[in-house]
Amino acid sequence: MRRRQWLAAGCGLVAAGATLAWLWSNAGLIEDALLETPEAYPISTAPPYVVALDAGHGGNDSGACSGQAKETLLCEQTVDALYRLLAEDAFFKPVRTRENGQDSSIQKRVDRVAEQRAAVLLSIHMNSDPSTAQSHGFECFPTPPGRKWSEDSMKLAAAIADQMGQAGHRLRGSSGIRFAYYSGKRKLIVDAEDSRERTLKSFGILENSPCPAVLAEQCFITNSADRAAWTGTEGSEKAADAYYRGLCAYFGLEPYAARTPPQPTPPPVTESWP
């Protein structure tokens, strides 16, 4: 797993079912003190909802790698597929935190989210476990307890994890939802049931997001079955569909295809005279 300043990619070094684990990581929060949360803005409560899509890593930072698979390219492929789904739905307006192939700091990403007045932020990553090819499944990390957007972030994470489970993905831990914290180069992973507030910092993009945010670890690219099912054209589209349905559920919407088409207003009846 490659180092990416204050945004770590891999969170999958926890044994299945574990509720608490300390991990050593090369991606601490050494730059976190330099980050600034953008100024608050009113979060939209009516469509079209602006959804900020963040493809993890980018540019010279390829993220985790396994054989020919590079995390950043797989993230971009899924974001592209999800962007198309959201753009086809008049109830959403998708925006990107960075363009494909572009490197971008966390500060620039959260600033972009604020500029677009996003209602939610979804940061998509791929997981990796160089120690074993057996680790597999989906997990996501909402803004931790005690932060401004933690409750709404948890609701978004629950909606996404539920849809991933319905799509046939294995949910890691008890529900596919976890919290991540750093202490120097050590990373603390806890399941969502552990909702105590901690002063330890989480991922920079979650700590500094100006709106509800979730960082998703879509699958393990170090696991061949995960890679086959959840990457590539078909896999990224399947994952994008689950993310889209999760976003619809969070906002209380039916997916576009399930909505009843609006009926045209009949012309007014006019009385004709001979």
pLDDT value at position 261? Answer: 65
pLDDT tens track for 214-255: 999 999 999 999 999 999 999 999 999 999 999 999 999 999
Q: What is the pLDDT of residues 110-149, one digit of tens each?
A: 999 999 999 999 999 999 888 899 999 999 999 999 999 9
| All domains in the chain, ordered by first residue | 20-29+48-253 (3.40.630.40)
| E-assigned strand segments in 134-212 | 139-142, 178-183, 186-191
Model confidence, pTM: 0.84
Which stretches in the chain have pLDDT values below 50? Answer: 1-19, 22-31, 272-274
Question: Assign residue 232 a region: left if phi > 0, alpha if psi is -120 to 50, beta otherwise?
Answer: left
> In angstroms, rounded to a whole number, what is the distance separating the alpha carbons of residues 126 and 237?
15
